[in-house]
Amino acid sequence: ILAPRGGPLEYEIKSSRLFRSFVKLILRRSSFVICQGNFWKDFFSSIEPSNPQKYVSIPNWIDLNSYVYNDKRTITNINRKDEEPVVILFMGWVQSDKGVFDLYSALSDESLKDKHLHVAILGDGPAREELIAYSKKHSNSKHTYEFPGWVHGPSKASYLAKADIFILPSYSEGMPNSLMEAMASGIPSIATDVGAVKDLITNNESGLVIKVGDVKAISN
């Protein structure tokens, strides 16, 4: 049983004939291939199509019962006082290919400079210290930032309960757990069109899907 995970796989397979041949061999020798959603099922079966039945799609990788779905968020947002910040949440590895610098560029857009925003970056990674330094340099009275690192249990539940918007501007994904957690909590979510994101979000219906690297779309 093979359970491939990780967004960079798509790029690595497409950019290397040798690696693609290796993956095809592994797929051929596997009895079953557990796929993160239909995107990856179609992707892997296109590489080794001899036995389509071996590819099994798992549409959801988290326990929905562990999350509290807040369907009152929209009403709360409508009644929000002007001085209350909009809470923007990111969860994941804090590194460049997760689009964290695109998020920062978007927040610097002229259209957002007078908006009360609180940005919580949950997670850790090689870009975390740079982002902390950047936020201190460019902070203002209306934009605040928080970097609590990795959070779990009640602490994570608290962030999920308070967030108004979740954003994952990643450059590659398998099937992102953080996006599923946000959606399971009823947070309006924005994510880039990578991996199995479209298996989770129906654009303009259950969230917003944007192009990779489209900073203007993030700020809009």
The per-residue pLDDT for 61 is 87
**Beta-bridge mates of residue 168:** 191
The per-residue pLDDT for 70 is 83
The per-residue pLDDT for 80 is 64
Provide mean pLDDT across the span 66-90. 77
Q: Which string of DSSP letters, residue by residue, matches 27-42? A: HHH-S-EEEEHHHHHH
The per-residue pLDDT for 71 is 74
pLDDT band at 79 (very low <50, low <70, confident <90, very high): low
The per-residue pLDDT for 216 is 96
Provide mean pLDDT across the span 52-81. 81
pLDDT band at 50 (very low <50, low <70, confident <90, very high): very high
Provide mean pLDDT across the span 5-13. 92
Average pLDDT of the chain to the nearest whole number? 92
Nearest 10 degrees: Cα torsion 180, 185, 190, 195 = 0
Say what the pTM is.
0.91
| Coil, strand or helix at 194 | coil
pLDDT digits (tens, 9 = 90+) for 111-167: 998 889 999 999 999 999 999 998 888 777 789 999 999 999 999 999 999 999 999
